[in-house]
């Protein structure tokens, strides 16, 4: 997991606006800059034009540096770098500071800012406190909201809680699920809220959505993906989880295409817990036999209707996102279908159930899955089991997420 090291600020409609300045907003943006500096995140200012203060004609970047109390790096398009919307501009800034794109966020508001963030591979934070110019990116209504996001979603949590990296199998989860867990007692602080958020569209959707977006960006996984795909619910009539909207926004900001119904449920599948209650051992069969890929999924954000021909996923990476991982049956079924279409897969979940819920990797299927866009019924599976406890990456994740979740609700400037 990368550490957040830089924050690139556009001047227009973020730190400055044409006309009379709102002193309260300027005061709070100064607090944001000061906060970032205090936690080791370097603010950088960029603009495509010269901004000066009315009356004194002092360059705005000098004026703002004076308010903060130290000189802030400033780059002007067409003078110090290419115009900011071009990839070479952000690359120049990153190289000057020794940063990778995964260590930086971009705070902007205009169409040029959207292009700058996208072409630079930077997560866009849409600053709306002066004007609402675009719905693109994650929207923040005040500088304080951005400081809260940085503190609770970028700086506090460490690495993934749990994960597997073994050849073509890559799967990661943010935190353990544990409403009553002896192994992870801190998980009780957030687990009910997280489960309500991922399952029912309740809970603190903004926290969990921003947290996943930050994990996607800071881990570098978002930059690897050409497509982001949510896993469907257990019923053919299941609605897309509201929390997946945050995944869609993050995908678009990181230049991946979000395919909201690429994996479809053509037949209801029993939930694993229902099978266990009946004394049956869950397996991936129920998932494999009830899903397939859709050849004409909706384009990102449903704009432009459905694909007229299949998305070209061959030799591309799909980021498959599900809510809770127990034994991996859903993720493995989705991975099998996506690989049959020629893609590589990285799997992400918010939560991982602890205890004796080992991960069951599909290593072989009979008959082979060769037609991923049609129904498939497995006759036999070959499975490799990964010990649940043996895949823990960050033993402190439950406490870190609990602390971040608690602070996020009533966050105040330090």
Residues 141-157 have pLDDT tens digits of: 899 999 999 999 999 87
Fold of 6-155: Rossmann fold (3.40.50)
pLDDT tens across 155-182, in order? Answer: 987 899 999 999 999 999 999 998 888 8
Please check whether residue 213 is in contact with residue 228, taking contact to mean a CB–CB distance below 8 angstroms.
Answer: no
**Would the pLDDT of 381 be above 60?**
yes
Residue 48 contacts residue 112 (beta carbons within 8 Å): yes
> What does the domain layout of the chain look like in residue ranges?
6-155, 162-391
147 or 201: which leads in pLDDT: 147
Can you give the pLDDT at residue 24? 73
Examine the pLDDT at 234 and tell me if it is beyond 80.
yes
Position 299 scores a pLDDT of 80
52 backbone dihedrals φ, ψ, rounded to 5°: -130, 155
Which residue from 330, 331, 180, 316 is spatially nearest to 255, judged by alpha carbons? 316
Quote the CA–CA distance of 193 and 300 in Å, as a whole number. 28
The pLDDT tens digits for 277-292 are: 555 667 888 999 999 9
- Quote the pLDDT of residue 132: 67
Which CATH number, 1.10.10.10, 3.30.70.580, 3.40.50.10470, 3.40.50.2020, labels domain 162-391?
3.40.50.2020
| Local structure of residue 371 (DSSP, 8 states) | -
Does position 316 have pLDDT exceeding 70, yes or no? yes
Task: Choose the weakest-confidence range: 186-195, 250-259, 379-388.
Answer: 250-259
For the stretch 104-128, pLDDT in tens is: 999 998 888 888 998 898 999 998 8
What is the per-residue pLDDT for 201? 81
Q: Reply yes or no on whether the pLDDT at 242 is more than 70.
A: yes
* Fold: same for 6-155 and 162-391: yes
Q: Write out the two tokens for 234.
A: 């257990």
pTM exceeds 0.85 for this model:
yes
Contact (CB, 8 A) for 357 and 386: no
Distance CA 225, CA 165 (A): 16
% residues pLDDT > 90 (the chain) = 55
């Amino acid at each position: 997991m990368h550490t957040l090291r830089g924050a690139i600020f556009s001047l227009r409609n973020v730190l400055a606006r044409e006309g009379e300045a709102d002193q309260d907003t300027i005061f709070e943006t100064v607090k944001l800059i000061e906060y970032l500096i205090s936690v080791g995140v370097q603010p950088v200012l960029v603009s495509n034009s010269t901004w000066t203060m009315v009356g004194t004609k002092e360059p705005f970047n000098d004026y703002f540096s004076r308010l903060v109390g130290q000189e802030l790096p400033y780059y002007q398009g067409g003078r110090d770098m290419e115009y900011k919307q071009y990839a070479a501009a952000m690359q120049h800034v990153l190289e000057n500071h020794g940063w990778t794109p995964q260590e930086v966020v971009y705070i902007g508001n205009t169409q040029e800012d959207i292009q700058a963030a996208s072409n630079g591979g930077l997560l866009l934070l849409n600053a709306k406190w002066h004007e609402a110019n675009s719905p693109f990116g994650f929207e923040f209504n005040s500088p304080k909201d951005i400081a809260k996001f940085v503190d609770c979603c970028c700086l506090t949590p460490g690495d993934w809680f749990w994960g597997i990296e073994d050849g073509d199998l890559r799967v990661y989860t943010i935190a353990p699920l544990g409403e009553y867990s002896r192994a992870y007692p801190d998980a009780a602080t957030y687990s009910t809220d997280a489960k309500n958020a991922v399952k029912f569209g309740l809970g603190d959707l903004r926290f969990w959505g921003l947290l996943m977006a930050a994990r996607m960006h800071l881990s570098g996984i978002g930059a690897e993906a050409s497509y982001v795909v949510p896993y469907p619910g257990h019923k053919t009539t299941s609605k897309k989880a509201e929390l997946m909207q945050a995944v869609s926004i993050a995908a678009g900001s990181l230049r991946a295409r979000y395919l909201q119904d690429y994996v479809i449920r053509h037949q209801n599948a029993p939930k694993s817990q229902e099978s266990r209650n009946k004394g049956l051992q869950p397996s991936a069969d129920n998932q494999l036999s009830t899903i397939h890929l859709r050849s004409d999924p909706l384009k990102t954000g449903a704009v432009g209707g459905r694909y007229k021909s299949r998305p070209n996923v061959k030799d591309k990476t799909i980021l498959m996102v599900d809510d809770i991982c127990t034994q991996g049956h859903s993720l493995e079924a989705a991975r099998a279908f996506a690989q049959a279409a020629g893609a590589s897969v990285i799997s992400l979940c918010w939560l991982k159930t602890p205890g004796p819920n080992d991960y069951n990797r599909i290593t072989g299927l009979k008959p082979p899955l060769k037609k991923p866009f049609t129904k498939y019924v497995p006759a036999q599976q070959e499975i490799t089991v990964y010990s649940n406890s043996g895949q823990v990456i960050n033993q402190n994740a439950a406490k870190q997420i609990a602390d971040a979740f608690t602070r996020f609700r009533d966050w105040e400037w330090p």
